Structure 1
Amino acid sequence: MKRIYFFGWLSLFYLLTVAAYAQNVRGHVTDLETGESLPGVTIAVANTTTGTTTDAKGNYSLSLTNGTHQIQFSFVGYNNQIREVSINNNDITLNIVLAPGTQTLTDVVIVGSRSTQIRSNVETVAPIDVISVRELQTTGQIEPGQMMNMVAPSFNSSRQTLADGTDHIDPATLRGLGPDQVLVLLNGKRRHNQALLNLNGTVGRGSVGTDLNTIPVAGIERIEVLREGAASQYGSDAIAGVINVVMKKDTGTTANLHLGQFYEGDGSNAQVGVYHGIKAGNLGVIGIAADVRLREATNRAGRYTGPVYQNWNVSQLPNESQEGWLNRRQTLYNQDQALINQNNFNLENNLLVGNSAVDNFNGMLNGRLKVAPKTEVYFTGILNYRKGMGAGFYRYPYQTNQLIPEIFPNGFLPEIHSTIWDRSGLVGISGEWGKGWRWDLSNVIGGNYFRFDVENSVNASQYELGANAPTTFYAGTLKFNQNTSDFGVSKDFGQAIGLQSFNVAAGLSYRLDNYQILAGEEASYRNFNPASGRAGGAQVFPGYQPANAVNENRNVFAGYLDIETDITDKLLLNAAGRYEDYSDFGGNLAGKLSARYKFAEFFSLRGTLSNGFRAPSIHQRYFSAISTVFISVPNQGLQPRQQGTFRNDGPVAAAFGIPSLKAEKSTNYSLGITSQLLPNMTLTIDAYRIDIKDRIVLTGQFQRGTSAAGQQTAALLDAAGQTDVQAAIFFTNAVNTRTEGLDVVLSGDYPLGQGTINLTLAGNLNKTEVQGEPKVSETLPTEVFGNVLFNRQERGRLEWAQPRSKFTLGGTYRLNNFSSNLRVTRFGEVKALDPNTPQLDEDFSPKTITDLSVSYRFTKWLQFTIGGNNIFDVYPDKLAVTQYPTATNPTSLDNSSFDRFVYGRAATQFGFNGGYYYGSLAFNF
């Protein structure tokens, strides 16, 4: 930790000691016909990485070096303009008037290339989506992850429920892979991961992602999604692709107020976002943003039909007749019903199945200042604070080993309260040496802190304290800190060797990672009386124990070389290589070769061959914990288990023959076409295949039991001193997978009456399949532990938990001060496989939801929007297996946990909250 902060402050001190003056190009962009200012116009300078957008008043400012520059102005629904300016130690005012037209905006992109050539997203060698803040806002969502989920078909972010900490952080994925196989950048620089591991039966189980919802929406300019393996360019965790969030740094003030609620009457959302850009003299602009998001919980639980006070769901005793057994069950059932009525027990609201409640507070500082004729300093700081509350499974009075009757005579619903701090600071300096040698030095320091508190709960082993037993517990804290220093240089040698471009970029990177687990208070994890048979630790989330506490560091050195060249006017090539060396793991080399050939102005072919490498995350190497999970038991529904997640290099893993973790290795293939079909229409189609070898996953649950596997598991756990643990899981390189898919994007602008309409059809098809037989343990026999090592449920989670297809058809119509947006999204099939019983598998058919919004701009500074998401109130398929054990039918299958779950939670397409309506006000000053 001391090294991380030392390097961070050292870099900050160095970069802030530079000062000088600069020249600027300023101006105002207006509409030719109406004379109104145009906010959000994209401005790019050829052969540089300089660019900006106009502010809310249509103003812009660029800091440029002496010489002649070509500046391109682009905006949706308007014809592009390219203007040439000459600078010789003078400031220039350049006002632009754009004529309405049918030209589609082909956005200039940052991610995917280090060349200074201006390339649109249909001219690059790799498929890239560019999502403007305007597109994000039209979704009616208030969180970046959910916004992207509605406009980027290859992206998936599903809220989880009853999943401990993952209720508060949405796993985000690309192309159906895992959260840890997509790299997130902020302003082109690596962003740190979250501290939380996704563990409890969610999408991306066993992985660590990056929390997009820590970024303030009010400060976002656009989001770039590179849909291709880029480990050789940006780092080892870019197997599926890269998401680059670009923050605002223009003048003016914008504010947005959003209020909404679900049709069911719950889940109210309130969001206030404010951005203000301040001119720093002639140096540049400093942007400040604040974002507050308040999200109430939703609940779609069904009416509970199981035991409450008397457990009538009992097994047949030895030597007990069938008739005697059924009579005993019926008697217990009648007693239970009488007590339910006597105590007025509420069967409707004893579980929370839906969104957790989260209050989110964000702040941002972002800027780029010219401090010398050829030198700029840039910086970005983000601070996020979040409070969340989610619930676990209800503890019923008959579950005497999990409660203390003096405190909760009618049982209780335990709550997990999260406190999340996330902060990051980027400081960099860039410039140009001599004739075209561009350089960039930067340092990013960031971290994520996740604290668990348990409320409305008990440690049942403290039953002797009766009513004096505590009901709130501090259960521990997870921390992840990262410091990344980068230095890169690049130069275009194209003119010197007679080519249009020949850009060579090279750089070095040094990264420090720190991972910590802080133990909770003693009562949160200790079993004070093991002989009593009562569960120890806080019910719902036993705290981290001192044995789980870690404070581990590692460093990563990396070097890269990136070459991009226009061999001819038609042929563009890109080659990249990157070597990374991990102090706790080892090194690896990743490479990439891409090409794009333009057969004609309206048709190009592009393709890529690359390999990737993802080292085990520091979380996966050092995490361990004991937690309460609920598993599906044939004929008994969901049952609680004390489950241990044990370190891969620890004694328990060694006893089970679990080998040390090694890196995932991938090979990526892609082939696509891009076409400017008409002046107002673009088309991209990209097919891909991603093979991943030795993919890191969590094993199935090694459970104590009477079977051969259960008895051997019990012996191994007891021998390792884990006598209180009923099940064990481990991280391991269990499987090889193959993902194949297709991305399609068709977009265009068209005149319609007196206005214009923008239409976009975008879709993703993907299929992930496990290849061959899993290999988990070096010693345990497959014929005994085959389904335990990597069971049907875990296979299904990789192959079917995310939609295998997603298509979006959207249209935005603009006429003077009026605009409307209609979007139809089809989510493909998902499945949830039972660990043991195929009859309990759930198959959820494709669903289509419709979003609609209408906006009117009353003045230049005020716009009102009213809209609805999922306006036809579409829900996923209900769980098909709705039978449950009853007093007279004890052997019925149960996949609904006595009807508490109406919709599946293991695999979700778009959630199960139903329709949502909202209103918003947007201010531009």
Structure 2
Amino acid sequence: MHKKSFYHTVLWIFLSFITLSTTSFSQTLQGKVNNVPTGQSLQGVSVLVKDGTQGTSTDSIGNYHLPLPPGTYHIQYSLVGYTTQVKEVTIGSKDIIINLSLEESNLLLGDVVIVGTRSTQVRSSVETVAPVDIISSHDLQATGQIEPTQMISMLAPSFNSSRQTVADGTDHIDPATLRGLGTDQVLVLLNGKRRHNQALINVNGTVGRGSVGTDLNTIPSSAIERVEVLREGASSQYGSDAIAGVINVVLKKDTGMAVNLHLGQFYEGDGKNAQLGLYKGFRIGKIGIISAAADLRLREGTNRAGSYTGPVYVNWNGTTDPALRQERYTQDQALIAQNGFSLEKNMQIGNSSVNNFSGMLNGSLPISPKTEVYFFGLANYRLGNAAGFYRYPYQTSQVIAELYPNGFLPQIHSTLLDKSITLGIRGEIGEGWRWDLSSVYGGNSFRFDIDNTNNASQFALGAAAPKSFYAGTLRFNQHTTDLGISKDFGPQIGFRSFNIAGGFTYRIDNYQIAAGEEASYRNYDSSSGKAGGAQVFPGFQPANAVNERRNVKAGYLDLETDINNRLLLNAAGRYEYYSDFGGNLTGKLSARYKFADFFSIRSTISNGFRAPSIHQRYFSAISTVFVSVPDQGLQPRQQGTFRNDGPVAEAFGIPSLTAERSLNYSLGFTSRPITNVNITLDAYQIDIKNRIVLTGQFQRGTSAAGLQTAQILDAAGQTDVQAAVFFTNAVNTRTQGIDVVISTDYRVAEGKLTLTLAGNLNKTEVQGEPKASATLPNEVFGTILFNRQEKGRLEWSQPRSKFTMSANYQWRRFAAMLRVTSYGIVKAFDPSEPLLDEDFGAKAITDLNVSYQASRFLRLTIGANNLFNVYPDKLKVNQYPTATSPTSLDNTSFGRFVYSRNVTQFGFNGGYYFLSLSFNL
């Protein structure tokens, strides 16, 4: 659909909305839901029409409104921890009011699940054929976090997300993973519709290197009703990316108003956070509901840098002669004292500072008794600021002395824009044929502005040289149109259910790189030995600029049937054709058998795939990276990331990208051995072939590989580039793991105590040898193509175990939550020197908060995350060179890094305390 016609459609929908708001097609079922025996209002109760598409949930004071055309319905009321009720209701010419109370139940894992099924059968998370975590908005808010990725990470053991540092754009977007796999191997849905990826591709040395994720932090947390985490491969149902699983974010759509205020900071006194979340839902006449939400999040940066011990004005580390080394060291120390140069925390190592503004609109409008139009959209605007490596005065090839006599700390300013809008129409025709036609348009852009820096090749300008540069913009846009049709034939053939669903999808992906200003990338005097381009992040060059698109066509078929009250089967198949690499067929077969009400087993076998992202195919850039050089520590290098289908990649024998393919196996059980205990345990194995990685560095040098690298780069005109990396299908991996959830509750005095243990054990291992270059010998380039550092990143950069034990106690107006999370060990590997490898031990952190319902409308919460101020292990290999010792084994970069920036379990900011106020009106 052309962009103009798409927006015209949006305008038509809103004009129709206004016109139709004065016309009544239906009456309203409304009422209030309370708790037994306290009588308190219940928020978030699902109110659904069984075997239908209509539904809503109760607002902050327990009220609900559900417009329905005339007829007789079975209405189901359900909420986690409460017994489900079903009421038969006949809608006529007047509104119907039904008030009811739900009794507390021991079925703590039960909540209606949308993700992973296209059946109209209402199933709880323990009744599905695949494991699903249901995380409510209340649970998200209770974490004491302000960003969705961090909220989910604290509540779902198989989900991990940690903030990165000194990683360029990745400082501003948190990589998020499921079951220890890649950030691009989990699919994100919004209200069941595919969410577009971010524009940024992670090319730095962090978790998810070489991958493109989906930025969950663009979603306002005040807009989230719940998050569904499907821990199962689902490519046959939803398409590419769903190798590890699916995360479905469900937006609120109920009446009422809520205001949330959060204030907090870290124990160290920095990293202040503030959030203001607003939500409002209202009815339009008697026929529609619109909800709106807005989030303002302000995040101050943190700094956990150590004291610098290296050269500042005189490079005493540039010689191994003891006398000359000592002489230069003495000179350097004298200049440091003379100029008052501070060696304390002269780098910014920690959270970047980010200001985030986001909004949501969500609504539906019945246009006939069995048809409704729905729409939802998000908008996000984010400003970030992060720093790179300090440039010291002795680094004359990088510093213009007249501009920065004491060196400088370059800054990366990011501007992120994200928008999406979904328009759809759905309904029912004939005898139970349900249909849904939708169109989703979304886009993300990432602009780089570099400040407090210089282009050293402009040294002739002296103090007049520019300090700021526009370095370019990344953009990704996606437009998806989907038609789905389904019908339950169960009653006609004597089964409890026999749902058949099918449909078609057409998607357009568009990826753009816009070049920066000339001075951000150009070398104005290459013969001088001065580095060209903006220090810390040279701008994208015109040769990097692209505007590429591809289209994807898909068809799918999904069958789900309750053969009887014990056996549930699901089979799905999907074929997708990508215009840039070809087609792929996936399938899945799942079963759940209920031996008794207290015990069921479930199992799935499926194949999946992940298409190479359009970013991985067309991204290219020249950047400054710091690499470990023997006896010199971290040194800057101009590194070229060359596009997969370009002449440089061809010269190195890098083949065209193709899809990653997986085989998924799972076996698990759900059990309720006694009335107040629920258990789910699921074991899985995921074999992935042709995983796409970003290679190690092909560096110029005196070795056979180094000389051949130099020859190829010079022949391609890349004389300023010292190293090259590429995207390629290089390795096969196997991931094995177990997910477990155990929950129970008890009456303690007059209150209720809920205990939950949730954990994930997983292990990823590289299988066999990496694939060799198509034309260059593996004995020369094999260890570079996929070196030991990259192997370790796949296998050990994320904890192999994560367990959370939580206790929630509620007594009258008081509530308390205690949570202990244990993280397994992680490891970091050097590309070539095993003595630089590091292991970081298992850690446990404790979170505690207490809340008080001050009135019907106001709740006050105080708490602390990481209550006991636990930090990960410090870097142990820190024998950095001194005035008398030129050799070193140093991971700390002359003491600047206290904690690893390559791997992290939960960050290294320490304890955090906060205050939250929630107003529900």
CA contact 1:74–1:105 (8 Å) conserved in 2: no
Structure 1 residue 657: Cα displacement: 0.8
Structure 1 residue 409: Cα displacement: 0.2
Between the aligned partners of 1:490 and 1:16, the Cα distance in structure 2 is 30
Please name the residue that 2:673 is paired with. Answer: 677
Q: Secondary structure at the match of 1:179?
A: coil
Between the aligned partners of 1:64 and 1:506, the Cα distance in structure 2 is 26
Q: Secondary structure at the match of 1:796?
A: helix
Between the aligned partners of 2:109 and 2:210, the Cα distance in structure 1 is 40
Q: Secondary structure at the match of 2:791?
A: helix
Please name the residue that 1:845 is paired with. Answer: 841
1:191 matched to 2:190: no
1:82 matched to 2:86: yes
Between the aligned partners of 2:258 and 2:14, the Cα distance in structure 1 is 30
Identify which of 668, 691, 694 aligns with 1:695.
Answer: 691
Between the aligned partners of 2:368 and 2:746, the Cα distance in structure 1 is 44
1:248-647 alignment, distance < 5 Å: 248-316=252-320, 325-647=321-643
1:721-732 alignment, distance < 5 Å: 721-732=717-728
Closer, same or farther: CA 817–866 of 1 in aligned 2, 3 Å: same
Between the aligned partners of 1:752 and 1:623, the Cα distance in structure 2 is 59
Matched to 1:264, the amino acid is E
Between 1:561-570 and 1:88-97, the stretch displaced more is 88-97
CA contact 2:772–2:778 (8 Å) conserved in 1: no
Closer, same or farther: CA 811–894 of 1 in aligned 2, 3 Å: same
Matched to 2:157, the amino acid is P
CA contact 1:8–1:445 (8 Å) conserved in 2: no
- Deviation by residue 1:306-365 (Cα, 9 ceiling, x = unmatched): 01011111244xxxxxxxx11111111111111111111010121111000000001111
Q: Secondary structure at the match of 2:316?
A: coil
Structure 1 segments unaligned to the other structure (5+ residues): 317-324
1:229 matched to 2:228: no
Between 1:277-286 and 1:532-541, the stretch displaced more is 277-286
Between the aligned partners of 1:602 and 1:98, the Cα distance in structure 2 is 22
Between the aligned partners of 1:273 and 1:599, the Cα distance in structure 2 is 46
Between the aligned partners of 1:783 and 1:563, the Cα distance in structure 2 is 50
- Deviation by residue 1:880-910 (Cα, 9 ceiling, x = unmatched): 1111011211112111100100000100000
1:144 matched to 2:148: yes
- Deviation by residue 1:833-876 (Cα, 9 ceiling, x = unmatched): 00010110011111000000000011000111100000000000
Q: Secondary structure at the match of 1:538?
A: coil
Report how many aligned residue pairs link the two structures.
Answer: 916
Structure 1 residue 263: Cα displacement: 0.3
- Deviation by residue 1:643-687 (Cα, 9 ceiling, x = unmatched): 000011101001111111111111111111011333332211000
Closer, same or farther: CA 429–679 of 1 in aligned 2, 3 Å: farther
CA contact 1:8–1:444 (8 Å) conserved in 2: no
1:69 matched to 2:73: yes
Matched to 1:865, the amino acid is T
Between the aligned partners of 2:890 and 2:861, the Cα distance in structure 1 is 45
CA contact 1:253–1:276 (8 Å) conserved in 2: yes
- Deviation by residue 1:804-861 (Cα, 9 ceiling, x = unmatched): 1100011111111100111100011111100010110011111000000000011000
1:11-30 alignment, distance < 5 Å: 13=12, 17=16, 19=20, 21-30=25-34
CA contact 1:4–1:512 (8 Å) conserved in 2: no
Structure 1 residue 707: Cα displacement: 1.6
Matched to 1:655, the amino acid is A
So what's the TM-score if we normalise by structure 1? 0.97
Matched to 1:326, the amino acid is P
CA-atom RMSD in angstroms: 1.4
Between 1:393-402 and 1:52-61, the stretch displaced more is 52-61
Please name the residue that 1:112 is paired with. Answer: 116
Q: Percent identity?
A: 69
Identify which of 187, 206, 231 aligns with 1:202.
Answer: 206
Matched to 1:170, the amino acid is D
Identify which of 35, 42, 45 aligns with 2:46.
Answer: 42
Structure 1 residue 377: Cα displacement: 1.3
Please name the residue that 2:248 is paired with. Answer: 244
1:651 matched to 2:647: yes
CA contact 2:451–2:467 (8 Å) conserved in 1: yes
Closer, same or farther: CA 102–499 of 1 in aligned 2, 3 Å: closer
Identify which of 901, 904, 914 aligns with 1:918.
Answer: 914
Between the aligned partners of 2:36 and 2:678, the Cα distance in structure 1 is 25
Matched to 1:600, the amino acid is A
Matched to 1:257, the amino acid is L
Between the aligned partners of 1:785 and 1:887, the Cα distance in structure 2 is 36
- Deviation by residue 1:404-430 (Cα, 9 ceiling, x = unmatched): 000100000000000000000011111
CA contact 2:448–2:473 (8 Å) conserved in 1: yes
CA contact 2:772–2:782 (8 Å) conserved in 1: no
1:784 matched to 2:783: no
So what's the TM-score if we normalise by structure 2? 0.98
Closer, same or farther: CA 430–15 of 1 in aligned 2, 3 Å: farther
Between the aligned partners of 1:500 and 1:78, the Cα distance in structure 2 is 25
Structure 1 residue 253: Cα displacement: 0.5
Identify which of 758, 764, 782 aligns with 2:760.
Answer: 764
- Deviation by residue 1:599-629 (Cα, 9 ceiling, x = unmatched): 1101101000101121111101111000000
Between 1:410-419 and 1:69-78, the stretch displaced more is 69-78
Q: Secondary structure at the match of 1:135?
A: helix
Between 1:568-577 and 1:78-87, the stretch displaced more is 78-87
Please name the residue that 1:740 is paired with. Answer: 736
Between the aligned partners of 1:738 and 1:158, the Cα distance in structure 2 is 23
1:655-670 alignment, distance < 5 Å: 655-670=651-666
Matched to 1:500, the amino acid is R
- Deviation by residue 1:417-449 (Cα, 9 ceiling, x = unmatched): 000000000111110001111010111111001
Please name the residue that 1:320 is paired with. Answer: none
CA contact 2:109–2:678 (8 Å) conserved in 1: no
1:3 matched to 2:2: yes
Between the aligned partners of 2:185 and 2:81, the Cα distance in structure 1 is 36
Q: Secondary structure at the match of 1:118?
A: coil
Between 1:736-745 and 1:20-29, the stretch displaced more is 20-29
Structure 2 segments unaligned to the other structure (5+ residues): none
CA contact 1:636–1:894 (8 Å) conserved in 2: no
Matched to 2:587, the amino acid is G
Structure 1 residue 8: Cα displacement: 5.9
Closer, same or farther: CA 12–506 of 1 in aligned 2, 3 Å: farther
Matched to 2:192, the amino acid is G
Between the aligned partners of 1:385 and 1:412, the Cα distance in structure 2 is 29
Between the aligned partners of 2:113 and 2:165, the Cα distance in structure 1 is 36
Between the aligned partners of 2:754 and 2:300, the Cα distance in structure 1 is 34
Between the aligned partners of 2:477 and 2:415, the Cα distance in structure 1 is 16
CA contact 2:109–2:126 (8 Å) conserved in 1: no
Between the aligned partners of 2:103 and 2:557, the Cα distance in structure 1 is 42
CA contact 2:26–2:70 (8 Å) conserved in 1: no
1:807-822 alignment, distance < 5 Å: 807-822=803-818
Between the aligned partners of 1:154 and 1:832, the Cα distance in structure 2 is 21
Between the aligned partners of 2:294 and 2:162, the Cα distance in structure 1 is 25
Matched to 1:407, the amino acid is L
